[in-house]
Structure 1
């Protein structure tokens, strides 16, 4: 009989307070030489295997801020002066988590809460310009109507997440530079949802009128302009000469951006993008699997590195609206049938944490370690195939069953890991039929709720509140298990109404325990990722996000030591 160890060995290989003055970030790190202008950056993003999903934020594409964050700006962004590289406390790695003391105004110059009615009044920066875009618009100043129009298009989109803007009664421009959001009720995510979130881009009405879904029409106030796009190959950005922001380094203010061109590469093959980094064709590769690190350190010893715990959870979702997964005994059994600790040690070679989802250890005050969890949760992470068989028999499946699991062929890691999980399940009589899918079809299956009974995915934590809302409340598109409990939904709604963060933390801890006990997913370990860059990349320390999946403000502040690059033979 095969043992779990044998299986693993064979597959081894892999509330924002009102702030009245918000200054641009200041880089505190000392530099070897003054920043230089010019040159080009080639970057492999965290999701470099995926082309942009849509250029129009009203399509609600989760990658929009990653793909357009150099062009479209938001009301708020990360205060990068508080990065660890600059002596601050934050790594700026989380996919969509900005601590309340690390948010600055981007297009917002200041903002203030007022009551009767409950509202937030936002003053826009003066003199921020849209560049000229032939055939789309003439150069003009950003005005409050642009913010209102951007919000209304999102709110009126048939593709929007249900309930996402229910807290907003209206958005209005009271003068050229003032936007007022009047609320139906307080929402603890107000700044994230339309301030620095996934769909918060401020798009001029001319782009909407020309067709925001066409990349050739994209035009924003950001440090770069989108100048070329080849699907499956690259997105190219060129310097916006009339960009408004500056970066202060060693006490001196420098106009942004530094480089003339940035290219986001799309490379679907892991061997190919690792080779591109090794040979200097990529200056930065944001996501390197642990299994490739040692070889890269030998073959390219000059590379710089940062290590971070993945900001998403990997799991096999079981649809609770379909048999046999409507029975919690079946779901708990499948969790116990998978040797998760062995996956950490044998598959990841220790480069993973057993328990880091649905809350992330970086969420201080929200995350609870496994050893403090109730026994009902703890036992889901202990390998116990005998109890799994017993639970399956009690549920009416003494001989197991067969079910289909869909997985995205775009992820080499998932294509390796799912067969390992399937092998564990086979030992308790449960057979998995693996169905690889291209990403577009894979994502569509989930968002239209037509996916199979099993769905293997990585789901971003997002932030401490959204990670619970989107993954476990009724009707949410990122709830692939289709879990639904009115009492749970009510408690989640109460969290968002709570202004006191310490109280929200306690409420979310309770909801996290409840969600885990329901075992709607086969929870798998969370691996460590790595970011690598060449030493000629300056004013950078491995930061990944300055908003929700938005690296743009980080990349705009990078400069290239072109003499060093040439000296190193690249």
Structure 2
């Protein structure tokens, strides 16, 4: 069956902003676990394990990291899940606010284990089952085709301004001493949460002209949301982004920024947080979800998240078995891990944010957008680049040519694979310095021209290769280094005068990134100052189109228009790796279940403490 994807472009700004919300560090308040922990599984089987898991980042740093641990060889994944056990993972940043009403992704990442959203990706429509959805693209909003039940079983739009959610029955809030006793989640709770989002200053829905207007509980398990204006943004975001908490939490604490008051209906309860060190979650025995065999979820008893800011320390913790998973490992580090720790399991995947080279489309030599000579210059700039040289030389074979930011996983028919692209697009992404020089002459630049590429320090080595190739064909370029914040100021401020290179998130750029709004203003992320009237029309339609097939078509039209007319240059994406220990079961290296929801993966994997 043909798979259809509808996705929201949030680009690299999200990827950067999210790298990631985080957790705590133990001082005198660190919560410890008894040395001998007795865990009762749902079939009343009792197991006893010795807990040797580190509880703080300091525990990791004090550990000898130069030797390889004596661990069991990888074995076949157990046919049955193993209940109990502790999963330990690490992140680089600490969460600065637990209240999702004030932020979107970066305050919610570590609230989601506690508080469920209206909809979540069906885990068994990913690699664990039918493989209908790719779990490697955190910044992409999934389609309804792969939606599994969250707080809502389903939702529909009877008209272009109304969204109706049908809630699950019997979903219970966790018991929270001092805040509330366990009770059922109902439509009144959903109404309260949505109204809180819509009325909180700084929340996206508070300023969105098509955000929630009136919210009504039709009955105990049905909620109707009337948008203030026609627009697809609320329908696309509300089911996937925001976790729903209990009103009692705000009554006691005033807001949701204090982790000690965390309430929700999620798979885990937040039991300890020490800023800049660690977060600890414990299993919610009353979670409403089951696996396909009807077994209770989650399988784990506990999850510990350590805040380890130094990458080399995180890698050392993985080597010595002190953390169980680590995502987005650079290929250079992956090669070393494969050599020293062959027992580690791993899976390669495209980096979520390849480098996008913005070309200013508003004026010569790279613009105006549809000026024939400007198109020749943009194609010359692309043909001057040795893409295979980047893949084989710079990435040592750990890269893939991706001329579009529509990720391969979101292109099930392969329309954007290099071999299937139109001939002129393939030519533009083929190294041909002689033809690049000819195009510059045809465009009126027989002696070339001078320009600057602005980039961040961490991209300077890669961009220096581009500068060298451009100089070879007559585009005399220099590098200007700026911090990431300054780059984003140029992009969002629409002040680009010369090319700019920065990381940009995979998804589907669609027409929006190259468009103007109905008032004629540049779309926020149209940093390349593209003037594409067709993209303007497609984007306006996209904001009011509710048919999934048509939305997918509009995204594809915008992406192909950018390719054919070389609005930008996308450099090859490097391959990164997700690693996990052999005692982690049910895991296949997935990155994120839904919109930046990596923690949802904890709901479905287990740790075999005997193997550990």
| Common fold: TM-score over 0.5 | yes
Q: CA deviation at 1:239?
A: 1.3
Find the aligned partners of 2:111 and 2:211 in 1 and give their Cα distance: 27
Secondary structure of the 1:358 match is: coil
* Structure 2 counterpart of 1:316: 357
- Unmatched 5+ stretches in structure 1: 1-14, 18-28, 566-570
* Structure 2 counterpart of 1:20: none
Q: CA deviation at 1:107?
A: 0.9
Find the aligned partners of 2:261 and 2:528 in 1 and give their Cα distance: 38
Find the aligned partners of 1:105 and 1:235 in 2 and give their Cα distance: 30
Q: CA deviation at 1:524?
A: 0.7
* Structure 2 counterpart of 1:468: 510
Q: Would the alpha carbon gap of residues 347 and 93 (structure 1) be closer, same or farther in structure 2, given more than 3 Å must change? A: same
Q: Would the alpha carbon gap of residues 266 and 247 (structure 1) be closer, same or farther in structure 2, given more than 3 Å must change? A: farther
Find the aligned partners of 1:54 and 1:450 in 2 and give their Cα distance: 32
* Structure 1 counterpart of 2:432: 384
* Structure 2 counterpart of 1:299: 340
Q: CA deviation at 1:551?
A: 1.7
Q: Would the alpha carbon gap of residues 357 and 16 (structure 1) be closer, same or farther in structure 2, given more than 3 Å must change? A: closer
Deviations 1:265-305 (A, max 9, x none): 44343x33332221222210121223333321221011112
* Structure 2 counterpart of 1:237: 280
* Structure 1 counterpart of 2:595: 548
Answer with 84-93 or 448-457: which moved more: 448-457
* Structure 2 counterpart of 1:144: 187
Matched, 1:401 2:450: yes
Q: CA deviation at 1:194?
A: 1.4
Find the aligned partners of 1:442 and 1:128 in 2 and give their Cα distance: 46
Matched, 1:69 2:112: yes
Matched, 1:289 2:330: yes
* Structure 1 counterpart of 2:173: 129
Secondary structure of the 1:281 match is: coil
Matched, 1:513 2:560: yes
* Structure 1 counterpart of 2:88: 42
Q: Would the alpha carbon gap of residues 118 and 86 (structure 1) be closer, same or farther in structure 2, given more than 3 Å must change? A: closer
Match of 2:468 among 416, 423, 428: 423
Answer with 206-215 or 505-514: which moved more: 206-215
Secondary structure of the 1:221 match is: coil
Superposition CA RMSD, Å? 3.9
Could you say which structure has the larger radius of gyration?
A: 2
Find the aligned partners of 1:403 and 1:120 in 2 and give their Cα distance: 51
Secondary structure of the 1:129 match is: coil
Matched, 1:105 2:149: yes
Match of 2:127 among 73, 80, 84: 84
Find the aligned partners of 1:383 and 1:477 in 2 and give their Cα distance: 32
Q: Would the alpha carbon gap of residues 116 and 79 (structure 1) be closer, same or farther in structure 2, given more than 3 Å must change? A: closer
* Structure 1 counterpart of 2:9: none
For the 8 Å contact 2:455–2:463, the answer to whether it is kept is no
* Structure 2 counterpart of 1:200: 242
Deviations 1:342-362 (A, max 9, x none): 212222233322125222222
Q: Would the alpha carbon gap of residues 482 and 128 (structure 1) be closer, same or farther in structure 2, given more than 3 Å must change? A: farther
Q: Would the alpha carbon gap of residues 344 and 153 (structure 1) be closer, same or farther in structure 2, given more than 3 Å must change? A: farther
Secondary structure of the 1:362 match is: helix
Secondary structure of the 1:494 match is: helix
Deviations 1:217-261 (A, max 9, x none): 654332234455566x55513215464234437x45234352323
Secondary structure of the 1:305 match is: strand
- Unmatched 5+ stretches in structure 2: 7-75, 517-521
Q: Would the alpha carbon gap of residues 306 and 345 (structure 1) be closer, same or farther in structure 2, given more than 3 Å must change? A: same
